[in-house]
Structure 1
């Protein structure tokens, strides 16, 4: 299975310019980014709901869209299953009729067989005659997914599939969806702004920021070594400072002058061209109430405790850096208890966790 997407589309003042590939039938690729960045527009271009201005979409060697060759297949001819945010079920159709609507271009007998198969697969027995308004949100989700699979698609597109679900229902559907996608013989493209969902469900990720896609990464790469400001922020990095290379740039790491924190920090991570920021994950920092214990360690940041926030399962400590900006430190409640009375802390950022980042405005 292969999917190649390279499209551009202009809508008013917004420009979409995305390029990525899904390279195997087992791959679940995430498009991760904030609301309004162009993720859903990208899915619409793949599905044929929206026509790009230029570019191409190729699925398993078959051109779905190619502006140069003047190819633009209609949605029904693309064999692409599209799970919309609000499910898009036909309100006047029963469950079995909605599922059957996905089986396009097959005989009546085959449609009946596929509907029965999906009813069993998604545990919809007993509600086949009900209409969407009579179903719970979770049931509507299952019907929508059953309709997609009844069409025997080569590719599944999912647009924020949990946006209308809450709490325990959301968790149950996530587990069911994970099993479904892993068993699906084609690839999947999953749109989300939720990094936790992406971490649990996906194999690879393409960050989308302001209508533009970044380099595809594996999930471990996104969370361990993002190279751009947008990727670091969307992956949950809470601490970012404007920064510049102060020495020894290149693949072996560098010293970064972190202007907002008022310190220089050594990194052993690869340094991308055009570094504008440095990032530190809040959970990876180490702190000492006694500065002597940090003596000799690299990247020591002397900080004053600004405030302590007691969260449900952890403690969040906001620390004032020499440059005046705040640094966020998060730890288990038990880990903070021995330090609770401290007003000054020595924060250690190991060179392996200092992330050099490009792509932001450092001015």
Structure 2
């Protein structure tokens, strides 16, 4: 399963020029408001006909300006999930879901109804009408309806933007299951870096309609060259870890290479792979391993890059167990420590500095 996109389109005050390939899994489109994320998704869906380019899903060409090939939106096997569920208010949940299956047509085998209901945990909701559902429940039903339409591609345009934090935390595990248990490529639009770090297998970073960087999520988030686009609070590492033990004091011990991370209890089995995002601003550096310190997480690594910002900050890249960790410090601290490429140092962060929504299951 794969998606290939190459699109050029000129607007009066905005030019879209994007070219990327995405494998199966969740491809996240990230960028500030006005960067072109929704415009790009609409072009993939066929709601916008680009002036030039080519779009194909799993080898099927949907648009090619060179040959004037164009598949209209109604003929594209694409499921589209918007910020709001847009469920039919006069139908109950089961009927809304069955509409998706009906739309797929008898000639095409869609996803199994019972499997989708189980995947999204919506069995108790089947007899209820949309007016009786929470925001998170509506979104799960909307996703289920899209899946049952047997799509070749699923587009999700900021599906959690209208939800409060408790509802976001409620639905994120279901989106992880969707990523891990289906082979449908997913385009996920968001400007929330925590959502993307938790869900994405591939990230496409946009700015003013242009492609800044694309690639596997850990590589993109750990690249200091895109930290200015991600923002001061958005820059950080995405680390793949393994659950080693759950301790009686409420901490879970995770392995990252030979290093160890201790975080508040994670509900995952020993041996499970967990992805953890650590913000660059939450990492303190030391040139010698500290002792008599309250922070439990002290990771040894080698400095691979120092990137000076326009202001007083420096982004330091550290190789920790074969993975990239970022630390944002001041130039004054960098100079005082004598940091340089190839130097051994220690990245330090508190267990409580990692937010719950920065921890998720890793896509194997």
**What TM-score results when the alignment is normalised by the length of structure 2?**
0.63
Distance 2:339 2:88 in 1: 55
Change (3 A) 1:327 1:135: same
Query: Counterpart in 1 of 2:178?
Result: 180
Change (3 A) 1:64 1:230: farther
Q: Is the 8 A contact 1:100 1:114 kept in 2?
A: no
Query: Counterpart in 1 of 2:15?
Result: 15
Query: Counterpart in 1 of 2:75?
Result: 77
Matching residue within 126, 133, 136 for 2:134: 136
Distance 1:78 1:223 in 2: 32
> Are 1:205 and 2:219 an aligned pair?
no
Query: Counterpart in 1 of 2:55?
Result: 57
Q: Is the 8 A contact 1:29 1:190 kept in 2?
A: yes
Superposition deviation, residue 86 in structure 1: 1.4
Change (3 A) 1:175 1:119: closer
Distance 2:147 2:134 in 1: 20
Q: Is the 8 A contact 1:10 1:16 kept in 2?
A: yes
Q: Deviations over 1:257-313 (max 9, x none)?
A: xxxxxxxxxxxxxxxxxxxxxxx943445479xxxx9xxxxxxxxxxxxxxxxxxxx
Q: Is the 8 A contact 1:14 1:211 kept in 2?
A: yes
Superposition deviation, residue 326 in structure 1: 5.0
Q: Is the 8 A contact 2:206 2:213 kept in 1?
A: no
Distance 2:232 2:69 in 1: 35
> Are 1:156 and 2:154 an aligned pair?
yes
Q: Is the 8 A contact 2:155 2:188 kept in 1?
A: yes
Distance 1:42 1:151 in 2: 22
Matching residue within 87, 90, 108 for 2:88: 90
Structure 1: 5+ residue runs without aligned partners? 239-279, 294-322, 330-343, 355-363
Superposition deviation, residue 235 in structure 1: 7.2
Q: Is the 8 A contact 1:34 1:234 kept in 2?
A: no
Distance 1:349 1:194 in 2: 35
Superposition deviation, residue 43 in structure 1: 1.0
Deviates further, 32-41 or 131-140: 131-140
Coordinate RMSD, CA, aligned: 3.5
Superposition deviation, residue 327 in structure 1: 4.8
Superposition deviation, residue 209 in structure 1: 0.3
Q: Is the 8 A contact 1:132 1:140 kept in 2?
A: yes
Change (3 A) 1:230 1:46: farther
Matching residue within 163, 169, 188 for 1:165: 163
Give the match's secondary structure for 1:63.
strand
Q: Deviations over 1:192-249 (max 9, x none)?
A: 11112111111221110011112312222223323246445377249xxxxxxxxxxx
Q: Is the 8 A contact 1:90 1:132 kept in 2?
A: yes
Give the match's secondary structure for 1:101.
helix
**What TM-score results when the alignment is normalised by the length of structure 1?**
0.63
Change (3 A) 1:126 1:221: closer
Query: Counterpart in 1 of 2:352?
Result: none
Q: Is the 8 A contact 2:213 2:220 kept in 1?
A: no
Deviates further, 89-98 or 171-180: 89-98
Q: Is the 8 A contact 1:5 1:56 kept in 2?
A: yes
Superposition deviation, residue 168 in structure 1: 2.3
Distance 1:324 1:189 in 2: 33
Query: Counterpart in 1 of 2:340?
Result: 351
Change (3 A) 1:283 1:54: same
Q: Count residues in correspondence.
A: 263
Please identify runs of 4+ aligned residues in structure 1 that moved more than 6 A.
none
Superposition deviation, residue 115 in structure 1: 4.4
